[in-house]
Structures are given as C-alpha cells and as structure tokens.
C-alpha cells in the first residue's frame, strides 16, 4: 500500500468523534473527514472517497445499521469498521451482520486500529485480485463438520442440530448449520425456524454475493446465535450442480467459524462432495447390523474414491445398555475407532415434539450432555485444525452423561 490509508469517521456523538480522531492520528493513519449518520454519511463518503470508514455504534442499532447499509450501497468496496463502548454480543452481531468488517472496543488502541484497517484493506485488495482472476479463491477458512451416515433414520439430523446449537451456545464464534439432505429437509422444523430463502437461492446468486449479503440467505434461530442455511425443495435440488453447491459451502465457511453439514443417508455425488469438503466427518451409525454393514460398504466406496479416512470420527448414536453390541465390535467391523457414543434417550424423541433440540429442551438429559461434550471436543478440534484442513489427533473425552455417553473403548 503506497499511500497512508485515509479514514472517514462516522459517529453521531461529537465527543466520541474527537477521541477517535486522536486515535486515528496516533495510529499513523490519515483523516479524510468526519460526519454523522444517515444521508450525511453517504454523501460525505462519496465526496471524500476514504479508504476505510470507521463508525461509532450503540444501541438502539436501527440508525447505525441503516447507515452501514446505505454506505455499502454507495461505497461497496470501502470497508466499514465499527467501534463501541458496549461489550454486548448482540450489538456486535448486529453490526457484523449489517456488513461491518471488524468490531473494535472503545477506547480503541492506536495499534489495534492500524492493524484492523490494514487487515481490512488487504482483504479488499485480495478480493479485487480474485475478481480479476489474479489469485485463486482461497480455501475455506472455517471448520466444516460433515455429519454423515450411510443410512436414513440413524440420527444424523439429531446430531447435527444438537451439535450446532451447543456450539452456537458455547462459543463466541459463529456457526451455520446447512441442510444438505437432498431428500427431505428436516432442520427448519427441528429448530422451529421459518426460512425465507434456501441454499438454492444462495447457489443461484453466488456470483453476485458479497460477504455482507450472507445474512440475508440464512434463517436465524430464536434461542441461540445459530444460523440455518435451509435446504432447497426436492424440485430445486434437481436444478443444482454439486460443484456450485460446493462453492456455496466454501463461501459459508469463509463467513462462519464453523459450518455443519447435515446429509442424507444416500451415497451420491452430493454426499461425496460433502465428505470431501469436510475438515472433519462425524460418521453416525447405530449399533444395528444394517447401519454398521452400510457404513462398511460406504467406507469402501469412499476409499476407492481416494478419500482418506483420517478425517473420519465415528459417532455411535442411540446406544442402549441392552444393545448387546459393544463399541469395540463396531470398531473392529469398521476398522476405525469409535470416537463418541451418544446414548439412547427418550428425551431426544420428546424434543422433536417440543420443536427444539434436546440440548435446549432437556440439557441435563444423558444424550444432550453427551452432545454438548461432543461440541466441546469439536470446538477444540476446530481451533487446532491445521492449515491443510487436516485434524490433529483429537483427545477422547469422558462424557459426564451417566457414563452412558462415555468415550468409546480404544
Ligand atoms: N440418541 C437418540 N435417542 C433416542 N432417539 C433418537 C436418538 N437419536 C435420534 N433419535 C430419534 O431417531 C429418529 C431419527 O433421527 P434423525 O431424523 O436425526 O435421523 P436421520 O439420520 O437424520 O434420518 P434421515 O436420514 O431420514 O434424515 C428421530 O425420531 C430422533 O428423535
Ligand atoms: Mg436427517
């Protein structure tokens, strides 16, 4: 960057503007100007053409959000960074969803501001180069967890929904759950959300989408910060190509820390892609003969397609003490360690009738506790995932779920 980046401060609070101006100068950046919210912001930004817009936000967020949105209309390539005295996550989230690139706690340190401005400009520059075809689009940044299983009705959606909610509840990071079941999409009902758009819309608009638009394609869960990318209708699925769906997933992974893919029980090109694109595959099976047998067959197919089993973690679901089939037996059959067991728990079924996953309706039930612990294990894995997307060895965890969701035998 040859010239010193220049900054426009947008803030309704004159005192805060004054303070921020000092910080901009102390950080070695140049001031382009300052103004208040609304149309004044859009017209000043158009006139001054700053490199970066630095905006003060506070609740109520309606006006700041409107201002961010109109600035993006007039200045789509100018990054907006926001600062605030609030530490309220909801405010942070609203600003980020509206399109802010970074959220800085006030008082802002000059060094923090400088780093944030330079990082935003670098991202913008990379985006421009990518659009001009000068650098290939980057690999997914977030962790992609594919919840796979070689059969229907074995608990894939149950594991996906509970895991996603547990992760969204426990982490400060963002989580998007994607309904990739090309049969019947269940997740919107399981989470009681009413999506206005589906993955079909995201794929259709893929070439025009900016990072800040993503929020318009997902549905927001009522009780947690989880976002759901709802599944297309059966007819819409037929119009989608798997490579485009993959691009959509990679786009989501660049925008969320964790993307969870719920899959169907069939082995088709779409599901192979879901396994291929994953940082980690949670392979769900029950102890039933048919489920284990189908898993063996599916693994054989995937190995033939050069898929490495390193990323697979077996999750044995709905395990009951009278099953008679021990994890060790399944392990031997699959030639793969069983990573996690989730107990059979009638609260899981009851939660379906209550319209929310068990981790919300019955968080102390054995299955919910096991799934919450699984989320903890996954979140550790996400943080430790290596640059090439492969996972380091996961620590096996002892579940607190009455011993029922205990770690599987090694
Ligand atoms: N650990 C569990 N204990 C008790 N019931 C469970 C458990 N896990 C799942 N179930 C129940 O099993 C049924 C099937 O679960 P789910 O819909 O998650 O399976 P699926 O693999 O996603 O099926 P499909 O392939 O049809 O989408 C549901 O009624 C669910 O409540
Ligand atoms: Mg399902």
Whether residues 216 and 289 fall in one domain: yes
Which helix H or strand E contains 260, and what residues bound it?
strand 258-262
Q: Is residue 157 part of a domain?
A: yes
Q: Is residue 353 part of a domain?
A: yes
Which helix H or strand E contains 340, and what residues bound it?
strand 338-343
Q: Is residue 149 part of a domain?
A: yes
Whether residues 324 and 370 fall in one domain: yes
pLDDT at 401 (0 to 100): 31
pLDDT at 247 (0 to 100): 94
Measure the CA–CA gap between 293 and 177, rounded to whole angstroms. Answer: 28
What's the chain's length in residues? 410
Quick: pLDDT tens for 340-399: 999 999 999 999 888 999 999 999 999 999 999 999 888 764 333 333 333 333 333 223
Query: pTM for this one?
Result: 0.65
Whether residues 238 and 274 fall in one domain: yes
Does 359 contact ligand 1 (Cβ within 6 A)? no
pLDDT at 293 (0 to 100): 87
Domain stops at, among 76, 106, 131:
131
| 3-class secondary structure, 41 | helix
Q: Is the pLDDT of residue 138 over 80?
A: no
Specify the residue with its C-alpha closest to ligand 1, atom 31. Answer: 349
pLDDT at 245 (0 to 100): 97
Q: What is the mean pLDDT of residues 26-39?
A: 93
Does 266 contact ligand 1 (Cβ within 6 A)? no
Does 149 contact ligand 1 (Cβ within 6 A)? yes
What is the number of the ligand 1 atom nearest to the C-alpha of 342? 1
CA of 353, nearest ligand number:
1
Which domain does 91 fall in, by range? 6-131
Whether residues 192 and 239 fall in one domain: yes
Whether residues 176 and 73 fall in one domain: no
**Nearest in space to 256 (alpha carbons), one of 159, 108, 388, 141:** 141
CB proximity list for 240: less than 8 A, separation 6 or greater: 199, 200, 203, 232
Q: Is the pLDDT of residue 74 over 70?
A: yes
CB-based burial of residue 321 (10 Å sphere; 0-12 exposed, 13-18 middle, 19+ buried)? exposed
Quick: pLDDT tens for 283-329: 999 988 888 888 888 888 887 777 777 788 999 998 887 776 777 78
Whether residues 110 and 170 fall in one domain: no
Whether residues 191 and 335 fall in one domain: yes
Q: Is residue 378 part of a domain?
A: yes
Q: What is the mean pLDDT of residues 229-257?
A: 94
Q: Is residue 392 part of a domain?
A: no
Specify the residue with its C-alpha closest to ligand 1, atom 29. Answer: 349
Residues with CB under 5 A from ligand 2 (ion): 156-157
Whether residues 101 and 185 fall in one domain: no
User: For position 232, which CATH number holds?
Assistant: 3.40.50.300
Q: Ligand 1: which of 146, 147, 158 to mutate, most ligand atoms within 8 Å of CB?
A: 158
Does 348 contact ligand 1 (Cβ within 6 A)? yes
Q: What is the mean pLDDT of residues 331-337?
A: 83
Count up the domains in the chain and report the number.
2
Does 287 contact ligand 1 (Cβ within 6 A)? no
Q: What is the mean pLDDT of residues 193-203?
A: 95
Specify the residue with its C-alpha closest to ligand 1, atom 1. Answer: 318
User: For position 36, which CATH number holds?
Assistant: 3.40.50.2300
Specify the residue with its C-alpha closest to ligand 1, atom 15. Answer: 155
């Amino acid at each position: 960057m040859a010239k010193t980046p220049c900054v426009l401060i947008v803030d309704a609070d004159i005192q805060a503007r004054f303070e921020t101006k000092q910080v901009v100068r102390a950080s070695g950046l140049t001031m382009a100007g300052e103004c208040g919210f609304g149309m004044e912001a859009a017209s000043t930004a158009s006139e001054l053409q700053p490199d970066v817009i630095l905006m003060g936000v506070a609740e109520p967020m309606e006006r700041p959000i409107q201002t961010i949105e109109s600035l993006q209309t007039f200045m789509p390539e100018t990054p907006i960074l926001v600062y605030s005295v609030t530490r309220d996550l909801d405010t942070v989230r609203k600003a980020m969803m509206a399109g802010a690139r970074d959220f800085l706690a006030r008082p802002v340190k000059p060094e923090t501001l400088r780093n944030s401005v330079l990082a935003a400009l670098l991202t913008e520059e990379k985006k421009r180069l990518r659009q001009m075809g000068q650098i290939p689009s980057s690999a997914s940044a977030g962790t992609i967890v594919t919840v796979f299983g070689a059969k229907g009705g074995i608990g894939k959606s149950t594991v996906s929904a509970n895991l996603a909610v547990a992760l969204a509840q426990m982490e400060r990071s963002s989580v998007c759950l994607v309904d990739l079941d090309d049969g019947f999409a269940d997740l919107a009902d399981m989470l009681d959300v009413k999506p206005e758009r589906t993955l079909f819309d995201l794929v259709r608009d893929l070439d025009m989408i900016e990072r800040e638009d993503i929020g318009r394609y997902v549905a927001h869960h009522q009780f947690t910060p989880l976002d759901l990318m709802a599944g297309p209708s059966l007819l819409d699925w037929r119009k989608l190509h798997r490579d485009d769906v993959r691009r959509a997933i990679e786009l989501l992974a660049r925008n969320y820390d964790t993307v969870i893919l719920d899959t169907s029980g069939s082995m088709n090109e779409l599901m192979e892609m879901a396994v291929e694109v994953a940082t980690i595959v949670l392979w769900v099976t029950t102890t039933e003969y048919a489920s284990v047998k189908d898993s063996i067959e599916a693994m054989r197919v995937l190995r033939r397609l050069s898929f490495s089993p390193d990323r697979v973690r077996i999750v044995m679901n709905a395990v009951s003490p009278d099953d008679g089939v021990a994890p060790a037996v399944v392990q031997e059959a699959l030639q793969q360690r069983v990573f996690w067991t989730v107990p059979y728990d009638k609260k899981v079924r009851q939660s379906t009738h209550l319209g929310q996953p068990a981790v919300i309706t019955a968080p102390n039930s054995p299955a919910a506790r096991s799934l919450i612990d699984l989320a903890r294990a996954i979140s550790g894995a996400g943080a430790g995932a290596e640059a090439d997307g492969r996972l380091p060895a996961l620590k096996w965890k002892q579940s607190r779920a009455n011993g029922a969701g205990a770690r599987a035998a090694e």
